[in-house]
Chain A
Amino acid sequence: MTKNLSAIVIGGGHNGLVCATYLASSGVKTTLLEARETLGGGLSKQTLRDGTAVPGLIQTHHSLNDKIARELKLQSTPCEPLPTTLLSTSGEHITLMGDKVSGAGVSARDISEYRAFREEYLSYGKALKSLMLNTPPRLKHFDWSDKTVFAKLGLDLRFGLGKAGLNEFLRVAGMNLFDVLEERFSSELLKGGIAADALFGNHAGPKTPTTVLPMLMRLFQETGSTASRQVAQVDNLAGQLAEAAKSAGVEIKTSTTVHSVVMDNDKPTGVMLENGDILNADIIVSNADAKTTFLKLVGARNLDGMFTHRVTKTRTNGDVAKFFATFDATPKFTNLSQNASSGRFLVAPTLMYVERAFNHCKYGEFSEAPVLDIHLTTLDNGKSLLSANAMFAPYNLKQGWEAGRAAFEDKILDILSLYAPGIASQVACRELWSPTDIEKSFHIEGGHWHHGEMAIDQSFMMRPVPGAGQYGTPVPGLYLCGAAAHPGGDITGLPGRNAAKQILADLKGRR
């Protein structure tokens, strides 16, 4: 049934690679086209001005869902559990490691509460499994498979969580992080850190309604892997995925930008490359974001009016900038041992600090005091590399990023100096990628972390928009397989895998 059928995957992000591998393994002749020189999308290496190679956008990620690792036969690289340190200007830092929280200023109550909180919320995350590992059910024109997913979700929620658990889940699922965290913890630093971790990549502060949802989506990622409750450092995942794709028979072309999807009689028949070449295939799968896919590659002229409008209206402006600084010697953070300083650090000292940081971006300003997710590594040449996800840095900065770039770099260094006095003067080379830069070099419209906001109205069967929420699109034979599709962004491989399953199921149904 899949014999003699061909597919083109547009984009070699991790999701494109995962999807292509599944398709090729099932006998579909699959070609993957990537605009960048290297594979992996957000995971693909990029070189700084001073020649330092950095692992693309990603600093740390959860290991891929076990199911995918198994199905794709990835050799499992044991990943070290990685502590997250919540920095305090007083030097009373808090360290999170799995369910454990430690630090001088943490109360015994917060310690036990953190364990209970993790257990509870991980169980909520786990209860979403049937939703995350499947095509989201349609609300209209319900069929058997839609019902099954709903039924499984219902059973997992009711029996997985128990009656009291279900009640609590339903209570918090629509709440904001601020209220939920205020109910449970007393340490400001702890609350700030949990909130920041959940919010990275979203246009939301802790007081934004329904922000518990993105936290649950992230916690779910921890429930599916054996290296669970850990954050893996960037390893060679992109390389492994590329190897898996090649051995499954995927033909891969890098430095190959797709200009448009070729349509004949309202059906896609292939793609046209930037150089004018045309490649034909039965199925076209896009790892690009929804706006790129529909508005640029397919074009409004091949789509319905309301659908086009919906795609245009999705919120895809990123709020996270990437900051890099190199140092000749490892910078010294107050009260951190040499050993701890090669981990992951968050600057989010209170819930209100995060909320205030968010306020600015609503008005097209970057945060006066940004929230930072910092990662330190020692390079082969002995130098030190600090990379940071810095939020909030709105795509549509009022003064424009050319004018605002240096000022935001200074803001980040001002904040870093509070935790590592003198750090600013030790910087050998610094570089900032604004969302506009990310848009350009990673080909993500708006430079958005998740290829589009992960708010409830853009999630599940409504991701990226109703009508394209089941990997298939209104254009028969065209599919989405990237972060724009359910269940969204981060390194999970889930959109890629779910899309492949859906495509294969559709192919089975067709003669």
Chain B
Amino acid sequence: MANEGPALRERLEEIRRRGVAAFESAESQEALEAARIEFLGRGGLVSRAMSDLKALPAEEKPATGQAGNRVKKALEALLEVRSAAIAAAESGETDEVTDLTLPGRRTWQGGVHPVTRVIDEVCEIFREIGFTIATGPEIESDWHNFTSLNIPLDHPAADMHDTFYLDQGVLLRTHTSPVQARIMLEHDPPVRVLAPGLVFRRDPWDASHAPAFEQIEGLAVDEGIDFVEFRAAIDFFVHRFFGTGTRTRFRPSYFPFTEPSAEVDVTCFLCEGSGCSTCKGTGWVEIMGSGMVNPAVFEAVGYDSERFTGYAFGMGPARIALLRYRIPDIRLLYEGDAAFLEQFC
């Protein structure tokens, strides 16, 4: 009787092989049901083989019992798969595979303007060093736009601003700098504000000029602000915005409302300083005008220029967007062309 266990296991394996063949060849639910009764039914082959288990010696029972269960499970699983396949075939759904390379169903993409992206990023960075965000009117008096900023109305410096006038002494602001005066007239130091907004110049449209464009003004006034801190603030911004590998270069310049005045260059972020058409081969790109606030401006708004010092700067997010996203023509920014705007979603 020693070989009864192995013999039963062999018989079970044979049942499994025949069962698989029978289930797979069944083409209808009826044929499948007939096969089920033959193999898995109450008096079917599997169940009969399992009842022979009882006759085995005790030590043979566990292994053979497990083998029987495996066969039963395997056939049951196959039965389920075949049944579903036959049901699908009978309901007309062939077993054709879904083409998963077809495009999915989408909604319209929304997004903010590339210039908004730049403005938001700049604001976020300056917020980290204590700046808040201010706004100011786009229609200004000539006093706010020029006089308060130490620009006499008949000075050649005013020639730099070819201005849209609306009425005697009323104009579309030529820079965001008049927000400086408005802020200082209303608030006492410490002042740290950023003022993004639209500014207007009588420049005819071309690839790099528009009669209006965005600017971001910055102003910090308190006791103890010096050129060293000013450089550090600008360096902080540049490293955060353009990357830590970017270097800055401060050059003398002229703005009536700052003194000393400086243009700030950064190493060209397209060629990383080796020279390209964007930086005209110099390796540097100019990003802002800036400087220490001229005491004359403090006096115009009633600040004590002996006690308070500060720095101010202005930059063009539209120009930065053109450079960063390599947009060749400023007109694209203001046309509202959906195909253009979608690229920045």
A binds B: no
Chain A interface (Cβ < 8 Å from any Cβ of B): none
Chain B interface (Cβ < 8 Å from any Cβ of A): none
